[in-house]
């Protein structure tokens, strides 16, 4: 099962803030074969968070982004996904940047979008938002990991 990741998954995987979340994020990103896909929007947000909130040097953030881009399929924001994101933001009151991530995940055929910040359990266009950090881990995510 293919899933997309939100920015907070990458931030936790880098060991920022919460150690139990970091362990979970790393485990999800190391599934083989790689099942995670990363929208370019997420990589841009990652750069902003790491260089802003966590005071990383820009070259450190860039190196990390290049590592993620090499390890996972990266997904562009197409005009079709952008149009869908506008509708999603309007109809469901999502922030446009979150709507873009969800629309890109749907366009790529992902079943799940892993995010701590979006509406856990929200389903749209074949994608369900799942918070991987709740205890116990959601059954839908456990099935994806074990398949």
pLDDT at 146: 63
* Tokens describing residue 45: 């947000």
Q: What was the pLDDT predicted at 18?
A: 66
Predicted confidence band at 116 (pLDDT cuts at 50, 70, 90)?
very high
Q: How large is the average pLDDT for residues 121-126?
A: 94
CATH topology of domain 3-146: Rossmann fold (3.40.50)
How far apart are the C-alpha atoms of 98 and 100, rounded to whole Å? 5
Residue 29: pLDDT over 80: yes
pLDDT digits (tens, 9 = 90+) for 51-109: 999 999 999 999 999 999 999 999 999 999 999 999 999 999 999 999 999 999 999 99
- Per-residue pLDDT, averaged over 23-45, amounts to 88
d(CA 60, CA 15): 14
Query: Given this model, what pLDDT does residue 147 score?
Result: 61
pLDDT, position 145? 67
Are 113 and 122 in contact, with CB atoms under 8 Å apart? no
Residue 30 pLDDT > 90, yes or no?
no
**What is the CA angle 126-30-36, rounded to 5?**
20
What is the percentage of the chain residues whose pLDDT exceeds 70? 95
What mean pLDDT do residues 106-122 have?
Answer: 93
What does the mean pLDDT of the chain come to?
Answer: 91
Residue 77: exposure state from Cβ atoms within 10 A (0-12, 13-18, ≥19) = middle
Alpha carbons 113 and 102: distance in angstroms, whole number: 7
Q: What is the pTM of this model?
A: 0.91
Q: State the pLDDT at residue 144.
A: 67
């Amino acid at each position: 099962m293919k899933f997309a990741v939100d920015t907070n998954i990458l931030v936790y995987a880098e060991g920022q803030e919460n150690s139990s979340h970091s362990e979970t994020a790393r485990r999800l990103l190391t599934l083989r074969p790689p099942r995670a896909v990363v929208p370019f929007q997420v990589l841009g947000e990652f750069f902003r968070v790491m260089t802003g909130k966590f005071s990383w040097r820009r070259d450190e953030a860039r190196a990390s982004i290049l590592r993620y881009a090499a390890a996972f399929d990266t997904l562009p924001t197409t005009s079709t996904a952008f149009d869908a994101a506008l509708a999603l933001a309007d109809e469901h009151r999502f922030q446009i940047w979150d709507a873009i991530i969800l629309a890109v995940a749907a366009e790529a055929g992902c079943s799940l979008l892993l995010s701590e910040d979006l509406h856990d359990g929200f389903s749209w266009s074949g994608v369900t938002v799942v918070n991987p950090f709740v205890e116990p881990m959601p059954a839908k995510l456990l099935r994806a990991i074990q398949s």
